């Protein structure tokens, strides 16, 4: 019987490619820069070069991404997925005539034969796919899933060997962020590469790649652009435009005292422009802060980054409140764990405060717990730094209205912020 994901074939071994081990990046002439090759060796058992280089092999792309690529009945991709905890297997995802996507594990036996249904075995994965495609045999009787058209990797699917790591830029939640060179048909360009540690769980991997999925939707000069993801090998990578100026909060800490007021006003206006765009796309960012605004180019253009927590639901109820940036959270988030476009507006107010206080930590002298208590219980609001332009201070206070609906939309305050920046 064919086994779909979640119901492994009994008495057979799936095409395991081994659990990801932690790997160190190193610079190589060939590009991908992974020191520990063990896992790739494991991969080679089942993923031979004909598969690795096949256009329809998508590596570890998440189910959601695979499903979005399969538009018509018979469209299929070959990908890797975590079958049972810690075991990476090869699987075929295919859209069925019932307009559902089914995922079939490719199994292997002691004699290195590959099969979906033990009734038909082949000596390689590519032969197995060719068999199902050419004979139009259903992958399982129940689903009647047939392989018709292999769907190629999308343009955002990047090969590891097109990435040349140069140096570490920072530390992300899942792994390091590097400056790298990305070689494509367009030539060579400097990029930032967010990596994910090899030993991460399926959950963490999905979270990591969700950030890429969110970023793919956006195209704006004040939002960090994604170029693609590399998911064929470990470490998984998100490849994005590089903002050489680094995080705004570090810049403010270093240069804030000597920065012209005009530049601070511009930082506010540019961050607002990026955020107004996200607001229009119904994207709740959930982590607006100076540390997540990056600076790009010789003019230090502000770009909103870090979509690790973002979502495109109108209102989000997140029960976990795990590792949350308390000092940037609105009262309704602190109390009821509700996130909305209006909780981003609150965080934008805190960002404005950070800009005029030269990157200081909000609510100086208060712990996270004290901050939470003061906001929720006493309606406490920070005082804006003394030299904040009056109109700017007024706008920040509007962003901190207790009632989310009374906070302005970013698009509504943007014209005034731009005027202030142009003065």
Cβ-based nearer residue to ligand ATP, 212 or 224: 224
Cβ-based nearer residue to ligand ATP, 38 or 255: 255
247: contact with ligand ATP by CB under 6 A: yes
In this chain, which of 18, 21, 172, 389 binds ligand ATP, going by CB under 6 A? 172
Cβ-based nearer residue to ligand ATP, 51 or 278: 278
Cβ-based nearer residue to ligand ATP, 308 or 331: 308
Q: Which x/- pattern, by CB under 6 A, does the window 254-293 give for ligand ATP?
A: ----------------------------------------
In this chain, which of 15, 20, 305, 340 binds ligand ATP, going by CB under 6 A? 305
Least Å distance, CB 374 to ligand ATP, is 25
Active-site choice (43, 65, 75, 287):
287
In this chain, which of 47, 192, 236, 420 binds ligand ATP, going by CB under 6 A? 192
Least Å distance, CB 182 to ligand ATP, is 12
Buried b (16+ CB within 10 A) or exposed e, 212-240: bbbbbebebebbbbbbbbbbbbbbbbbbb
What is the Cα–Cα distance from 405 to 82, expressed in whole angstroms? 43
306: contact with ligand ATP by CB under 6 A: yes
| 308-367: contacts with ligand ATP (CB under 6 A) | 308
Cβ-based nearer residue to ligand ATP, 139 or 242: 242
Cβ-based nearer residue to ligand ATP, 54 or 212: 212
Cβ-based nearer residue to ligand ATP, 56 or 339: 339
25: contact with ligand ATP by CB under 6 A: no
200: contact with ligand ATP by CB under 6 A: no
Least Å distance, CB 228 to ligand ATP, is 13
What is the Cα–Cα distance from 43 to 41, expressed in whole angstroms? 5
Catalytic residue check, 401: no
Least Å distance, CB 32 to ligand ATP, is 20
Stretch that binds ligand ATP, among 64-72, 118-126, 302-310, 397-405 (CB under 6 A): 302-310
SS3 readout for the chain: CCCECCCCCCCCEECCCCCCCCCCECCECCECCECCCHHHHHHHHHCCHHHHCCCCECCCCCHHHHHHHCCCCCEEEEEEEECCCCCEEEEEEEECCCCCEEEEECEECCCCCEECCCCCEECCHHHHHHHHHHHCCCCCCCCCCCCCEECCCCCCECCHHHEEEEEEEEECCCCEEEEEEEEECCEEEEEEEEEECCCCCHHHHHHHHHHHHHHHCCCCCCECCEEEEECCCCCEEEEEECCCCEEHHHHHHHHHHHCCHHHHHHHHHHHHHHHHHHHHCCCECCCCCHHHEEEECCCCEEEECCCCCCECCCEEECCCCCCCCHHHCCHHHHHHCEEEHHHHHHHHHHHHHHHHCCCCCCCCCCCHHHHHHHHHHHCCCCCCCCCCCHHHHHHHHHHCCCCHHHCCCHHHHHHHHHHHHHC
Least Å distance, CB 372 to ligand ATP, is 20
Residue count, binding to ligand ATP (CB under 6 A): 19
Least Å distance, CB 196 to ligand ATP, is 9
In this chain, which of 240, 271, 382, 399 binds ligand ATP, going by CB under 6 A? 240
Active centre residues (catalytic): 287
Binding site residues, ligand ATP, CB under 6 A: 169-174, 177, 192, 224, 240-243, 246-247, 294, 305-306, 308
């Amino acid at each position: 019987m064919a086994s779909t994901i979640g119901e492994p074939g009994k008495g057979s071994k799936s095409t395991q490619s081994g659990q990801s081990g932690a790997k160190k990046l190193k610079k190589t002439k060939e590009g991908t820069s992974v020191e520990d090759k063990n896992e790739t060796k494991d991969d080679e058992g089942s993923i031979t070069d004909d598969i690795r280089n096949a256009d329809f092999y998508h590596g570890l792309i998440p189910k959601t991404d695979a499903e979005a690529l399969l538009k018509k009945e018979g469209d299929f991709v070959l990908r890797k997925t975590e079958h049972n905890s810690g075991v990476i297997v090869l699987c075929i995802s295919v859209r069925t005539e019932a307009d559902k996507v089914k995922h079939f594990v490719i199994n292997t036996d002691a004699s290195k034969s590959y099969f979906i249904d033990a009734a038909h075995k082949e000596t390689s994965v590519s032969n197995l796919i060719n068999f199902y495609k050419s004979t139009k045999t259903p992958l399982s009787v129940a689903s009647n899933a047939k392989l018709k058209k292999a769907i190629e990797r999308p343009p955002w699917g990047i090969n590891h060997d097109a990435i040349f790591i140069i140096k570490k830029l920072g530390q992300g939640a899942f792994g390091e962020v590097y400056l790298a060179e990305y070689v494509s048909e367009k030539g060579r360009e400097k990029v930032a590469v967010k990596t994910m540690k090899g030993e991460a769980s399926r959950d963490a991997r999905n979270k990591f790649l969700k950030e890429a999925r969110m970023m793919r939707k956006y195209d704006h000069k004040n939002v960090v652009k994604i170029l693609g993801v590399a998911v064929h090998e470990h470490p998984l990578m998100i490849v994005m435009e590089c903002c050489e100026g680094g995080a705004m909060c570090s810049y403010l800490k270093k240069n804030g005292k000597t920065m012209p007021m005009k530049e601070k006003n511009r930082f506010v206006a540019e961050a607002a422009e990026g955020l107004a765009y996200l607001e229009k796309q119904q994207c709740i960012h959930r982590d607006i802060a100076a540390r997540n605004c990056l600076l790009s180019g010789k003019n230090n253009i502000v770009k909103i980054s870090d979509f690790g927590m973002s979502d495109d639901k109108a209102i989000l109820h997140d029960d976990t409140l795990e590792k949350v940036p308390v000092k940037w959270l609105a009262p309704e988030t602190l109390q009821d764990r509700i996130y909305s476009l209006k909780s981003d507006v609150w965080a934008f107010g805190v960002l404005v405060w950070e800009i005029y206080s030269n990157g200081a930590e909000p609510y100086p002298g208060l712990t996270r717990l004290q901050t939470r208590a003061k906001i929720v219980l006493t309606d406490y609001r920070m005082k804006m730094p003394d030299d904040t332009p009056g109109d700017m201070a007024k706008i920040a206070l509007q962003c901190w209205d207790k009632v989310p609906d009374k906070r302005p939309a970013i698009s509504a305050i943007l014209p005034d912020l731009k005027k202030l920046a142009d003065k």
